[in-house]
Structure 1
């Protein structure tokens, strides 16, 4: 409703139809009644117990008179705060279950942001890409995957002179380095695991009607566990051995960029780890982030890449 009131004028029947269409996308078979909608509009207008929304009365169209208003900037209602606290209490039952950690974290972040509206003191400072412009694509692509829709995608890379258009069958969404990517079958180029970054390079997409959706036969869990990041230029999984210096192996073990790493049992190799992965640019970037505190021992191809980066950087700082 907030989105509708901010973007255009709606008659009551059109508003009811639009809301029910949106609800059916998330909850098939569900809808609201005229009575429910009228009650909700009253809550929006109510200045004491509701949102105090600038919805003029006595006219047949519903639209905010203040273009900058949104209920997202309003304090939580009492029942909303109760629901947040109830959700936190429910999650406390699953405190030792890792699959609930992310949801608990999201609730804490939401509550902290809400409290900052009324309290200058701040508790949470978390990593956030404020320049990221692709998050608006996340929900439509998620729904397209759920509904098995085929898309026509318009894409233009940073170095491309012209945009390209292709038929795309979305399969999974992957987040890496504070950025989202969608993987699927690019039928136009006949590539099964094509990735598209959700940023300004993705110009837009639309659903192709009457086109059969092609499911993926990929084991996506294995697909992502055998590489760092999102770039997969080949299928060659190689054994990588690295040695850390200055105790940096302890930092790696608390936040490994390859989760399936193994430690050596030999006493003289306690500063080394090994894992099997595809060699790509994200792996190199992660290794470079350790600077002089990491040394690649194998394979030779990865050592050569690290050597090339090191020599190039050395040239930057020559007196």
Structure 2
């Protein structure tokens, strides 16, 4: 096995290089060291280490068995669809996953580590399925979601305070638009990711961009000053459902009445975490909270069907009535 320090980072960079371009050895070494220096400033590897890494890629028994032809002056996969992500975990990699789970077990009573432990279990379960092991976990995920490829680059852009040029094309747009964007935070909602930031071209704070096929691509703008606002993102999201915040929206009190015992379901999985219950005996089937009115809120309300009634505000109650009437017209004889 090659030099183990930042080996996984090197393998990921090399995998990307082999899939996307034909590199000469010196160019490959330079590109690899540039990638390493971003996370490990001042560090680089030698020609010997790179040659050992290439051997790992070609090794059929203890490596990745990559389609990397020998005897050529440049390095590129002969199969453009190959990636080391398709390969099962190697023995030492499986050991690292198990070691990480053992380490996390020390913090099993601390909620801070619950999500990471869950992610490791999901990853291990999917790996074992490739070895014909019986599936244990069945969890909710979006297999068609392609936007996840943007998550890490955008995360790094936010950490490094980089300004981006976004190329975006809406579902109904005839052509794409390009604008300057200063990314601030990433938010997940309904199994999709969104990036929020400052759209300088349109001079709009807290602009959201979905990480899906509408985000065509983006590039980093060099020598452009990064602009960051003091938005309280916790408050921003706790006063709304979803990710769309209409420009002229205001926070309003919403009162809901549930039927058929559905208030118990809502209380175990509320779409608005800051809900309050009423103390009156005749209102035990009701809750209230303060939020803005947007499409995501209406969609959540509609998901309860006949088991939910909006009591306040009148404008939202009217919206629900309109939706109900329209739906009824779909099924009229």
Structure 1 unaligned runs (5+)?
none
Q: Offset at 1:39? A: 2.1
Cα deviation digits, residues 187-240 of structure 1 (max 9, x gap): 111111111111122222222222111012111111111100011113411111
1:241 is paired with a residue whose SS is: strand
2: distance between equivalents of 1:232 and 1:72?
Answer: 37
Two-structure CA RMSD over aligned residues (Å): 1.7
- For structure 2, the residue ranges without an aligned partner over 5 or more in a row are 1-13
Mapped to 2, the partners of 1:166 and 1:13 lie a distance apart of: 36
TM-score w.r.t. the length of structure 1 is 0.94
Counterpart selection for 1:218 from 188, 212, 231: 231
Supply the distance in 2 between the matched residues of 1:153 and 1:132 (Cα, whole angstroms). 20
Which residue of 229, 242, 247 maps to 2:261? Answer: 247
> Residue 82 in 1 paired to residue 95 in 2?
yes
Residue 75 of structure 2 aligns to a residue whose secondary structure is: coil
* More deviation, 208-217/41-50: 41-50
The residue number in structure 1 matching 2:203 is: 190
What is aligned with 1:295? Answer: 309
- In structure 2, how many angstroms separate the alpha carbons of the residues matched to 1:172 and 1:124? 30
Following TM superposition, by how much is the alpha carbon of 1:120 offset from its aligned partner in structure 2, in angstroms?
Answer: 5.5
**Aligned counterparts of 2:226 and 2:81: Cα–Cα separation in 1:** 40
Distance 1:67 1:169, change over 3 A: closer
1:107 corresponds to which of 116, 120, 133: 120
Q: Is residue 202 from structure 1 mapped to residue 215 from structure 2 by the alignment?
A: yes
Output one character per residue of 1:296-316: Cα deviation in whole Å (capped at 9) or x when no partner: 111111111111111111111
Distance 1:255 1:24, change over 3 A: farther
What residue in structure 2 maps to residue 70 of structure 1?
83
Counterpart in the other structure of 1:262: 276
Match of 1:21 in 2: 34
| 1:174 paired to 2:187 | yes
2:16 and 2:200 map into 1 onto residues whose CA distance is: 34
The whole-number CA distance in structure 1 between the counterparts of 2:269 and 2:44 is: 45
Asked if 1:306 corresponds to 2:320, the answer is yes
Query: How far apart are residue 84 of structure 1 and its match?
Result: 0.3
Deviation at 1:242, TM superposition (A): 0.7
1:100-139 alignment, distance < 5 Å = 100-119=113-132, 121-139=134-152
Match of 2:291 in 1: 277
Query: 1:61 aligned to 2:69?
Result: no
Separation (CA, whole Å) in 2 of partners of 1:77 and 1:120: 16
Shift of 1:22: 2.1
User: How big is the shift at 1:168?
Assistant: 1.1
Question: Which residue of the partner structure matches residue 152 of structure 1?
Answer: 165
Question: Which string of whole-angstrom CA distances, capped at 9 and with x for unpartnered residues, describes residues 106-143 of structure 1?
Answer: 11111111111111532222222222222222222112
Greater mean deviation of Cα atoms: 107-116 or 199-208: 199-208
Counterpart CA distance in 1 for 2:128 and 2:313 is 51
Task: Call closer, same or farther: CA 1:250–1:32 in 2, change over 3 Å.
Answer: farther
Cα shift at 1:50: 2.0
Q: Distance in 1 between matches of 2:303 and 2:320?
A: 12
Deviation, 1:59, is 3.2
| Aligned length in residues | 319
Cα distance in 2 between the residues matched to 1:69 and 1:160:
34
